[in-house]
Amino acid sequence: MNYLYSPWREGYHGSKQEGCVFCDIAKHPEHDAENRVLYRNEFCFAVMNLYPYMPGHFMLIPHIHTDSLEALPPEVWQNICLLTQRGVKMLKEFWNAAGVNIGMNLGVCGGAGIAEHIHMHLIPRFRGDTNFITTIGDSRVYGVKFDKVYEKLLTRSLDYFEGRL
């Protein structure tokens, strides 16, 4: 058996914080930079995925703590959908993604890593980016520094999420 070590993922496999990580981010806008929040409004916020599938992978998360999409107030769901459209536009135009995967994993059996608080994933895709290593090696190759990606997306996120571009 061969082993491929990815020590930068240690936090993902370690102990989890008390309470809901997404609620903590929602309640503390003063920590947006350290939490890598790209945008927030009265309904939800956009935050970089700390364990991204691809550079530029972020999530849209309602401020309301729920694991039930069907219980989400319509105005919150509509805002998430609107920001999903605008986020896709940002990833295609500004991040130069050739495509984008969007989706929600609802519940543990649906594949959600944080099942107690629903969230929408936006994952930019590029020609030739598919790789066996995620499936076979349970690791990801991330060729760009995480903070550089956040800083670049942050420079234009307000314009895109506010619908100015």
Active site positions, annotated? 119
The residues, any chain, with a CB within 8 Å of residue 46's CB and separated by 6 or more, are: 37, 38, 39, 40, 58, 59, 60, 61, 83, 87, 157, 161
Nearest one of 47, 29, 21, 28 to 121, comparing CA atoms: 47
Q: Give dist(CA 95, CA 147) in Å, integer.
A: 15
> Residue 122 has which token pair?
């936006």
Q: Phi, psi (5° rounding) for residue 37?
A: -80, 130
Q: Can you read off the two tokens belonging to residue 13?
A: 């496999």
